[in-house]
Amino acid sequence: MAPVRPRRSALYVPGSNARALAKARGLPADVLLIDLEDAVAPSAKEEARRAVLEDLARGGHGPAERVVRVNGLSTPWGEADLAAAARSGADAVLLPKVEGAAGVREAERRLAGAGAPPGLAIWAMVETPRGVLGAPEIAGASPRLACLVAGTSDLVKDLGARHTPGRVEVLTALSLVVLAARAHGLAALDGVHLDLEDDAGFAAACAQGRDLGFDGKTLVHPRTIEAANRAFSPEPAEVDRARRVIAAHAEAERAGRGVVVVDGRLVEALHVEAARRLVALAEAVAARPA
């Protein structure tokens, strides 16, 4: 099993906001999505790129995964953003509004041409109707691709839909994103919750996202980090049962039995695989600073 990396909380950090960049170093977010796209005005794009490069070079972000969201290649800033990201020391580059494999492969080509190290991953935002329908193609586009990020705000706008408490307007799209990600062994992050005063709604959206299979949630404000971390962390009872499933199955195998019953439920090899992943996630979470 590949190492499990917690991605419970992924906070967007405006690249043009020096105070936000500095504050991000002390935050308990699993992922920092350092943004050169939507959060930066056109007149500030060049300066934001320079500021982000300086910030990444300074380091000090602890265990947080550092991901730079670039502008699209169809914009005046996309090519320079990719070239800068390639040598920035970031862990990944997040591509906006991806609608097919060609966009991922072109970005990959540009990154390689700019000297990107082999370990620099690509993440792709799925936030348009074409992107959702093309999610399986996108997910298989490149060995560098590591994560699909649902962009529900743009998607709702393009659908001409309305935001509802239960998110019925995007449930099909969210499931398609998770399906595509899992089919290719990728991580998947849920979209943002825009109402910062709606704590109950945020908690419900996190619970729903976890039930759908997402690894974590993208966030627009630091005050929501702790709630997202709680929602996407394995619960102690889950971890305890997972350990018992692993132990019981191992004992059954030693005894020559293919299946075993734990807490009245049949356990097979597929359940053991899920249990091992849950325990690995719990251990990775426990190893992070409080």
Give the tens place of pLDDT for each residue, 157-204.
Answer: 999 999 999 999 999 999 999 999 999 999 999 999 999 999 999 999
Digit-coded pLDDT (tens) for 78-92: 999 999 999 999 999
Grade residue 266 by pLDDT with cuts at 50, 70 and 90.
confident
What's the mean pLDDT in 242-260? 87
pTM: 0.94
Structure tokens at 123: 């993440």
| CATH class in words for 9-231 | alpha beta
Owner of token pair 């950090």:
13
Phi/psi at 246 (5° precision): -60, -45
* pLDDT tens string 208-231: 999 999 999 999 999 999 999 999
Please give the helix or strand (H or E) that residue 189 lies within, else none: strand 187-190
Indicate the pLDDT class of residue 244, thresholds 50, 70 and 90: very high
Give residue 171's region: left, alpha or beta (phi > 0; psi -120 to 50): alpha
Q: How many CB atoms lie within 10 A of CB 173?
A: 26
Geometric angle at alpha carbon 87, from 191 and 139, rounded to 5°: 40
Phi, psi of 235 (to 5 degrees): -80, 150
Beta-carbon contacts of residue 118 (< 8 Å; ≥ 6 apart): none
Tell me which DSSP letter residue 97 carries: S
